[in-house]
Chains A and B, each alone.
Chain A
Amino acid sequence: MRLLTHNMLSSNIKGVVNGFPLKIEVVKVVEKEVDFNIDFLKNMFHKVEWKALAEASRTMGYTELPENVDAAMLDSDDFLHKFHHALLELHLEEGALVCPETGRKFPVQKGIPNMLLHEDEV
């Protein structure tokens, strides 16, 4: 699971008011190289929840992302490469996503999150 995906997942347990963002528990992180695409990054920049991405990236062991950003940073090649790396190249292979309100853990195995709810959570 890469952080682009994490940025779009939320806990949908019944009664949870704000299930986003999910916290990350890391067991295994893998880095996979992805082609650099400036247009894609500039597009995604406006769509991602930055704080969630920055926090998730730190949890995954990559601390290079700035806490606060603005669109002017898109002119910086250095920034774009860091954004690219965090968003697309860090993969949580094994671990869990944790509901921010209930603490319930959604397992991530072989890079695939399992977001199925138990009967008492629907």
Chain B
Amino acid sequence: MLNSTCYSTSSIQSLNPTCPSSLISTLHKPEIHYISQNTRTRIVTYNTKRRRRRMASVAAMNAVSSSQEVGVQDQKELKKGIAELYDESSGIWEDIWGDHMHHGYYEPQSSVELSDHRAAQIRMIEQALTFASLNEDATKKPTSIVDVGCGIGGSSRYLAKKYGAQAKGITLSPVQAQRAQALADAQGLGDKVSFQVADALNQPFPDGQFDLVWSMESGEHMPDKEKFVGELARVAAPGGTIILVTWCHRDLSPSEESLLPEEKELLNKICKSFYLPAWCSTADYVKLLQSNSLQDIKAADWSENVAPFWPAVIKSALTWKGFTSVIRSGWKTIKAALAMPLMIEGYKKGLIKFAIITCRKPE
């Protein structure tokens, strides 16, 4: 069975490490649910039926928004950069790695062949669904899915096929949207899946449309985490599930105001190359979900389960095909490729976390 490293007992005691200590005492102690004794997996469940929800909401805004001051002009530059990076590089990614633009899920400490990675990427989707309790009951299938930050639509197509559902994918990249639709049409999924160029911070859908809101490794691009989470909550249907898999920085300890200067420096370098805004922690996301009145919030740290990924990507970029493709794709792709060792450094230092956070919208 696969192990995943979750929050340790000490961090559970402190509940939300970035919360001011005065707030901690007003919040319920979270329940720790043991999914399976023999995997020794622990998941922290946050009980959201709190009396002082308004206080939690204010603290959430303060904790996250102060690190989020990305001005409107900066946001415009960032989004343009994101679109251009993916317009430039999606083709070569697909060529070498296939249509899933996310990490694979591996046994910790395993060594993997390049050919195993595609299966690992599928495993990542399935693990995420299992974590969100969507793989248990065959009668509780989502029928309407939104893939927020859909890339070339790998997840959209996979989920639409798995559940026989309608899926809509949104991306900032016109090239990705085109490619995603072409792949869907080619796979006979053109009537089930559609793609639009749109902004996750302003989703072009009316409220409550989707019983599964899926964001697989796109949250790290969102310059306004509060708005991002607000939109995920808005478009979720009552009773619907939200699954967020994203890169975070480590939770801060109660005595910390912010990350260490050298940690910020490392993240800044990565941000420049990957077109990322400021990072937040898993605990920050949990607070935002709480402030949107979402329930059954569960979070886990899967960093150990994705460790083989970046070395594998680097290896693929150093093959003749990989190397020449990167060079040909353009400067943004080259810069992104050069930043890959920084991700490994970040993970090794316990600074970067691969997080999954799931929850449900109340009925």
Interface residue ranges, A against B (CB under 8 Å): 1-2, 4-5, 8-12, 19-20, 32, 34-35, 43, 88, 106, 109-117, 119, 122
User: Which 5 pairs of residues, A with B, have the shortest CB-CB distance?
Assistant: A115-B204, A115-B198, A114-B197, A5-B194, A112-B177
- B interface, over-half SS: mixed
27 A-B residue pairings within 8 Å (CB atoms) = A5-B194, A5-B196, A8-B205, A8-B209, A9-B196, A9-B204, A11-B204, A12-B203, A12-B205, A19-B206, A106-B204, A110-B178, A112-B174, A112-B177, A112-B195, A113-B196, A113-B197, A114-B174, A114-B197, A114-B198, A115-B202, A116-B79, A116-B198, A119-B72, A119-B76, A122-B72, A122-B202
- Could you tell me the distance between the alpha carbons of A1 and B184 in the complex, rounded to whole angstroms? 13
Q: Specify the chain A residue showing the minimal Cβ separation from B231.
A: A12
Interface size counted on chain B using CB atoms at 8 A: 28
With A10-B206, A112-B174 in contact, is A35–B191 under 8 Å at CB?
yes
Q: Specify the chain A residue showing the minimal Cβ separation from B197.
A: A114
Interface contact B168-A10, CB-CB below 8 Å: no
Interface contact B191-A20, CB-CB below 8 Å: no
- Could you tell me the distance between the alpha carbons of A100 and B95 in the complex, rounded to whole angstroms? 41
CB distance from A44 to the nearest CB of B (A): 8
Chain B residues numbered 189-218 whose CB sits less than 8 Å from any CB in chain A: 190-191, 194-199, 201-206, 209
Q: Specify the chain A residue showing the minimal Cβ separation from B166.
A: A4
Other 5 A-B pairs with CB < 8 A, given A2-B194, A9-B204, A43-B143: A4-B166, A4-B191, A114-B196, A115-B198, A117-B202
B168 contact set on A, CB distance < 8 A: 5, 8
Q: Specify the chain B residue showing the minimal Cβ separation from A35.
A: B191
A11 contact set on B, CB distance < 8 A: 204
CB distance from B142 to the nearest CB of A (A): 13
A109 contact set on B, CB distance < 8 A: 174
- Could you tell me the distance between the alpha carbons of A65 and B205 in the complex, rounded to whole angstroms? 24
With A9-B205, A10-B204, A112-B178 in contact, is A32–B190 under 8 Å at CB?
yes
